Amino acid sequence: MNIASLVAASHLMAQERSIEVTAMNLANVNTPGFQASRVQFSEWLNPQPNGAALPGEKQIAYTQDRATWRDTQPGTLTQTGNPFDLALRNGGYFTVATDRGPRLTRDGRFGPLPNGMIGNLAGDSLMDTNGNPLQIGAVDTQITITGDGTVSSENGPLGKIGVVTPADPMKLQAEGGTLLRADTPTSQVPVPGITQGVVEGSNVPPVLEVTRMMNNLRDYQFTTQLIQAEDDRIQSTIDKTLTTNS
C-alpha cells in the first residue's frame, strides 16, 4: 500500500471510531442520565528521510485517534412527582452498589427495594455519604429529600445521599447506558443540588447527533472511494507496465 492509501486508511479508521461513538449516543437519546461521548483526533506527523519527498513535503500527516471524552453538560429535567426520583442540578454522580462493586450514575430513577433499601431499577442500592446503603423502615411513608441529600420521613432523618465526583472524570469507564466505573479516587460534592421528584434526561441533542452521523457517513464513503480509486490507479499502472514489457 502506498503513502496516499496509508494516509486515507488512517482517516478511515478514525471515521469508523467516530461512527461507533455517535451510534452509541443515538442509541441512548432517551436514556435518563446518559452523557454523550465525543472523539478527539489529531495529526500524527511522520518525518521523511532526506530525498524521500518533494521540497516542502518533508512530513506525512496521518489521522490519529487521541481520546474519547465525556460531555458532562446536564440533560433536560422532567418532573415525575415520584418522591424517589432524583436529579442533580450541579456536577457529580450518585453511587450505587452493584455485584461488580460501586458504580456511578446520573440516572436518578430510584425507589424502595423489597429489602427496605433505596435502589435503582436494577435493584442496586443507593449509597450514603459513608458508602453504606440507604434504608427506610416500613413505618417511613412520607419521604423528603433536601438539596444537600438529607433523607427524612415523618419519623425523622434517615441518612444522607452521597454525591461524588472522580479525581479524573475523563477516566470514567461506561458500563451500559447509565453506569460508570471510576478508576480514580472519588470525593464528596459539597453542594450536590439534589432535586426531588425530577429525572434528568440524556444530554444527547438528537438533531445535532443525526447531522453528525450523516457527516461521518459521508466522509467515510468519500474516503473509501478515494482508497478504491488509488488502488485502481496502481493496478492500472501495473497492468500497463506488464503489457509494455511483454
C-alpha grid cell, residue 4: 496516499
User: Which among 28, 17, 167, 19 has a CA at the least distance from the CA of 104?
Assistant: 167
**Mean pLDDT in the chain?**
85
Number of residues written out for the chain:
246
Taking the alpha carbons at both ends of the chain, their separation in whole angstroms is 25
| Whole-prediction pTM | 0.78
User: How much is the pLDDT for 45?
Assistant: 47
Q: How confident is the model at residue 219 (pLDDT cuts 50, 70, 90)?
A: confident
Q: Which of 30-34, 178-182, 226-230 has the lowest mean pLDDT?
A: 226-230
Task: Specify whether the CB–CB gap between 131 and 161 falls below 8 A.
Answer: no
Q: How confident is the model at residue 54 (pLDDT cuts 50, 70, 90)?
A: low
- Separation CA 83–CA 128 (nearest Å): 17
C-alpha grid cell, residue 233: 490507479
- Separation CA 62–CA 48 (nearest Å): 13
pLDDT 10s digits, 15-53: 888 888 999 999 999 999 999 988 875 554 455 555 555
Q: How confident is the model at residue 155 (pLDDT cuts 50, 70, 90)?
A: very high
Q: Is the pLDDT of residue 62 over 80?
A: no
Q: How confident is the model at residue 82 (pLDDT cuts 50, 70, 90)?
A: very high
Q: Which residues contact 88 (CB under 8 A, 6 or more apart)?
A: 74, 94, 106, 108, 163, 192, 193, 194, 195, 200
Q: How confident is the model at residue 57 (pLDDT cuts 50, 70, 90)?
A: low
Task: Specify whether the CB–CB gap between 188 and 129 falls below 8 A.
Answer: yes
User: How much is the pLDDT for 41?
Assistant: 58
Task: Specify whether the CB–CB gap between 147 and 193 falls below 8 A.
Answer: yes
Q: Is the pLDDT of residue 3 over 80?
A: no
3-state secondary structure of 51: coil
Q: Is the pLDDT of residue 199 over 90?
A: yes
Domain locations in the chain as residue ranges: 3-69+214-245, 77-200
Q: Which of 8-22, 94-108, 124-138, 159-173 has the lowest mean pLDDT?
A: 8-22
CA distances from 85 to 22, 174, 242 (A): 28, 22, 73
C-alpha grid cell, residue 82: 415520584
Q: Is the pLDDT of residue 94 over 70?
A: yes
Higher pLDDT, 20 or 246: 20
3-state secondary structure of 19: helix
Q: Which residues pair with 144 in a beta bridge?
A: 152
Q: Is the pLDDT of residue 184 over 80?
A: yes
- Separation CA 35–CA 73 (nearest Å): 8
User: How much is the pLDDT for 44?
Assistant: 46
pLDDT 10s digits, 164-173: 999 988 888 9
pLDDT 10s digits, 111-120: 999 999 999 9
